């Protein structure tokens, strides 16, 4: 019998590689060997596949089976290769069609009773198969709906190995089985709810939030407890534009790889992640000794990462954000592999002015010494703060402001989103022909050159003075220009003037001014 082969997918981060699964049946003492750099879970497929085939009613021959996973140098992880290995073995013994399994990519884990169990990461795996030119995949029935989200791919959902063998031409007696259901997983992450109109007063902070949404800028909110920092941050996803099809598919792929539910399909709303301040660096960016999983910054891609009580995070955890804030991606290195993930998110951090929270609050007594205050805020490093475009003080609302807010309702999330969408459309038109879509993505050299706003002119006089006096870095200079463009887009003018640059500089220096 010739060597039988089919295909599966090996995931490394979000990137998937097609793996050719070859089975050879030889006239030697019974045995089962898997070669091609399998991990421990994949090596255990020997026992799973034999038991599953026997209990499903399509036993493997009692001869030596050699399974090769090619390319051999590519690390393979997990139990998602079980279905491909079992069908390749059955094809090598002549029980199913060699030609049929060669046309299909197989994904799924086998239980000892022969039923197929759902696996994590089915969406990026099917997407990788489609990009490699394959148009038919066979997956566990519980994963079929998720796999069908990839356009242009025929998805075959099967409940058991026996069903899969029969679909590939195996002459076996059918046995009805109950499919293994998907695990009932709840998304433990925060849900951004509420309307922007719920924010009473704090018009400057609301204006900064609108600016952040329109330009994709990062935001730092500093204020005492109860000032509304968390409320403001949770309203940001609600005023961001809907995701396009590619971004929605990438967000869903990240959730699939993280083992999170997709809630019935692709979502067009930006994600919102708010890790606790006890999170480790690996929980923030991702990691794992065997299978590399995405962290909070990856799950926040195309959305918002909110760090409440930022000074309570370890400094080492905060500083791992510096590289993804610049590059929009993160690479996790291990001894035998490097996994790359997208990490283009909007960062919002919130902090109290001191450990007790009462510094600068009227009619409240701060028990912290000046040294304690400096040490507390110094936990957020200068290089990280230099990457945050908008740094806004958020004072507590007064009774007078509360009465005025009741008489004059604030901007709703629907109104704010409309303005954000209009401003982004203007920026998108201006950036047509470039790889950037928002003002925050524009690089400094292009911004100061082809971006048409040159240093040394009247519009940038205040900014040039601040740079000359050392009050702002070159990175900060460029970020102020980006914010000025966003303010101009919101105002519907063709280019920033001195007023826009001044407001952008105030947003940048608002906390220290």
Interior angle at CA 441, CA 439 and CA 442, nearest 5: 70
pLDDT value of residue 405: 61
The answer to whether the CB of 354 falls within 8 A of the CB of 376 is yes
CB atoms within 10 A of CB 512: 10
Give me the mean pLDDT over the 165-179 stretch.
92
319 CB-contact burial (10 Å; exposed 0-12 / middle 13-18 / buried 19+): middle
Quick one: CA dihedral 326, 328, 332, 336, positive or negative? negative
| Phi, psi angle pair for 74, to nearest 5° | -85, 125
Instruction: Kindly report the number of other CB atoms within 10 A of residue 421's CB atom.
Output: 15
Which pair of structure tokens corresponds to residue 445?
């050299």
Residue 420 has pLDDT above 90, yes or no: yes
The per-residue DSSP string of 159-180 comes to SBHHHHHHHTT--------PPP
Nearest partner of 122 among 269, 46, 14, judged by Cα: 14
**Residue 37: its pLDDT value, please?**
87
The strand pairing partners of 10, in sequence order, are 17
At 484, is the pLDDT very low, low, confident or very high (cuts 50, 70, 90)?
A: very high
Report the DSSP beta bridge partners of residue 115: 160
> Residues 378, 384, 387, 393: is their CA dihedral positive or negative?
negative
| Of 312, 318, 309, nearest in space to 381 by CA | 318
Whole-number Å distance between alpha carbons of 111 and 179: 11
Rounded CA separation 201/187 (Å): 32
Q: Domain spanning 196-441: which superfamily?
A: P-loop containing nucleotide triphosphate hydrolases (3.40.50.300)
Query: Domains of the chain: which residue ranges?
Result: 4-167, 196-441
pLDDT-wise least confident of 16-20, 32-36, 408-412: 408-412
499 prior amide bond cis, ω within 30 = no
The arithmetic mean of pLDDT across residues 347-370, rounded, is 90
The pLDDT of 70-78, averaged and rounded, is 89
Task: Please answer whether residues 328 and 347 qualify as being in contact, where contact means their C-beta atoms are separated by less than 8 angstroms.
Answer: no
Predicted confidence (pLDDT) at residue 191 exceeds the cutoff of 60: no
pLDDT surpasses 50 at 513: no
Q: Judge contact between 50 and 82, C-beta under 8 A.
A: no
Instruction: Look at residue 189 and tell me whether its pLDDT is greater than 60.
Output: no
Task: Return the pLDDT at 1.
Answer: 52
What pLDDT is recorded for position 187? 58
Question: How much is the mean pLDDT over the chain?
Answer: 89
d(CA 5, CA 100): 10
Instruction: Count how many Cα atoms sit within 13 Å of the Cα of residue 151 in the half-sphere of its side chain.
Output: 4
Range name among 7-16, 139-148, 235-244, 331-340 with the lowest pLDDT average: 331-340
The label of the residue with tokens 């105030």 reads 506
In contact, 453 and 484? CB cutoff 8 Å: yes
C-alpha to C-alpha distance for 114 and 104, rounded to whole angstroms: 20
pLDDT band, residue 193 (cuts 50/70/90) = low
Look at residue 434 and tell me whether its pLDDT is greater than 60.
yes
Name the percent of the chain lying above pLDDT 90.
65
Q: What is the CATH number of domain 4-167?
A: 3.30.230.10
Selected residue with higher pLDDT from 385 and 189 = 385
Contact in structure between 310 and 339 (CB atoms under 8 Å): no
């Amino acid at each position: 019998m010739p060597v039988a082969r089919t295909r599966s997918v090996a995931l490394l981060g979000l990137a998937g590689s097609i793996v050719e699964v070859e089975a050879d049946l030889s006239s030697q003492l019974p045995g089962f060997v898997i070669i091609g750099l399998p991990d421990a879970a994949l090596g255990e497929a020997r026992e799973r596949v034999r038991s599953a085939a026997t209990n499903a009613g399509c036993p493997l021959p009692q001869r030596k089976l050699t399974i090769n996973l090619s390319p051999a140098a590519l690390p393979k992880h997990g139990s998602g290769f079980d279905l491909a290995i079992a069908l390749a073995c059955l094809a090598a013994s002549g029980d199913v069609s060699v030609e049929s399994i060669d046309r299909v990519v197989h994904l799924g884990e086998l239980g000892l009773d022969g039923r197929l169990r759902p696996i994590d990461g089915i969406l990026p795996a099917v997407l990788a198969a489609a990009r490699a030119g394959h148009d038919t995949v066979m997956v566990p029935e519980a994963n079929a709906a998720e796999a069908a989200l990839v356009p242009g791919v025929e998805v075959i959902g099967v409940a058991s190995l026996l069903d899969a063998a029969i679909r590939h031409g195996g002459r076996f007696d059918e046995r009805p089985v109950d499919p293994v259901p998907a695990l009932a997983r709840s998304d433990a992450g925060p849900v951004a709810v509420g309307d922007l109109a719920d924010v009473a007063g704090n018009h400057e902070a609301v204006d900064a939030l609108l600016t952040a949404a329109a330009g994709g800028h990062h935001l730092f909110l500093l204020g005492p407890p109860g000032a509304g920092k968390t409320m403001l941050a949770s309203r940001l996803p609600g005023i961001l534009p809907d995701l396009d099809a590619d971004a929605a598919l990438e967000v869903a792929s990240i959730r699939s790889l993280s083992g999170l539910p997709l809630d019935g399909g692709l979502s067009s709303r930006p994600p919102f992640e708010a890790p606790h301040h006890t999170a480790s660096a690996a929980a923030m960016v991702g990691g794992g000794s065997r299978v590399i999983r995405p962290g909070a910054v990856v799950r926040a891609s195309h959305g918002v990462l909110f760090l409440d009580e930022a000074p309570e995070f370890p400094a080492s955890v905060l500083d791992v954000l510096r590289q993804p804030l610049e590059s929009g991606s993160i690479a996790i290195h291990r001894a035998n592999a490097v996994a790359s993930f997208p990490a283009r998110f909007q960062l919002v951090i919130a902090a109290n002015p001191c450990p007790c929270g009462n510094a600068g609050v009227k009619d409240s007594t701060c028990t912290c010494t000046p040294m304690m205050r400096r040490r507390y805020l110094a936990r957020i490093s200068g290089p990280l703060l230099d990457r945050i475009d908008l740094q806004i003080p958020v004072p507590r609302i007064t009774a007078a402001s509360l009465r005025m807010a009741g008489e004059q309702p604030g901007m709703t999330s629907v109104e704010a989103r409309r303005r954000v969408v209009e401003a982004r459309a203007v920026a998108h038109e201006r950036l047509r022909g470039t790889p950037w879509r928002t003002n925050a993505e524009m690089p400094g050299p292009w911004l100061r050159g082809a971006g048409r706003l040159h240093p040394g002119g009247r519009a940038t006089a205040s900014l040039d003075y601040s740079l000359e006096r050392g009050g702002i870095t070159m990175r900060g200079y460029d970020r102020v220009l980006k914010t000025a463009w966003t303010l101009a887009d919101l105002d519907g003018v063709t280019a920033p003037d001195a007023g826009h640059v001044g407001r952008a500089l105030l947003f940048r220096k608002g906390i220290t001014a």
